[in-house]
Amino acid sequence: AGTRTLSIIKPDATRRNLTGEINARLEKAGFRIIAQKRLRMDRAMAEKFYDVHKERSFFNDLCAFMSSDPIVVQVLECPGAVLRYRDIMGATNPANAQEGTIRKDFAESIEANSVHGSDSDENAAREISFFFSEMEIVG
């Protein structure tokens, strides 16, 4: 039970074989992984997913990076999932992330920051339906 958030294990993390280690942290933190798949986004798909950032200076690099290798997308469930995940992810820029957070421990840079998590319940719903049908989500 609880609420849902969309998580992405990014190419820098799948490249370094960190999927299992990140999943162990998620489960220890109280999340249930109620949907999960590995895929590789093409450039157009990355541009669509990150459409809200299309005017930002980092948009092109971000879309190139996110389509550079496989990602693992997942639906996480726990009470207050969006905020709880943001807590254990740490700050976008790993240089600013707290000790013990996923980004502090694993991220390579502000771009290659290992994981993505939705920033609001509204965006969680949009991002979950971007990758998953209801049939693929088993709570």
Catalog residues that contact ligand CMP under the rule CB under 6 A.
53, 58, 62, 92, 110-111, 113, 116
Nearer to ligand CMP, 84 or 116 (CB): 116
Give yes or no: 53 in active site.
no
Is 113 known as a binding-site position? Answer: yes
Q: Is 38 annotated as a binding residue?
A: no
Q: How far is residue 139's CA from residue 105's CA, in Å, rounded to a whole number? A: 29
Please state the length of the chain: 139
CA 45 to chain centre: 15
Burial class (CB in 10 A: 0-12, 13-18, 19+), 95: exposed
Nearer to ligand CMP, 30 or 50 (CB): 50
Nearest distance from C-beta of residue 92 to ligand CMP, angstroms: 5
When the beta carbons of 5 and 113 are compared against ligand CMP, the nearer one is 113
Q: Among the options 4, 25, 84, 116, which is catalytic?
A: 116
Residue 95, CA distances (Å) to 3, 22, 85, 90, 135 in order = 29, 19, 18, 10, 39
Residues involved in catalysis: 116
Annotated binding site: 10, 58, 86, 92, 103, 113
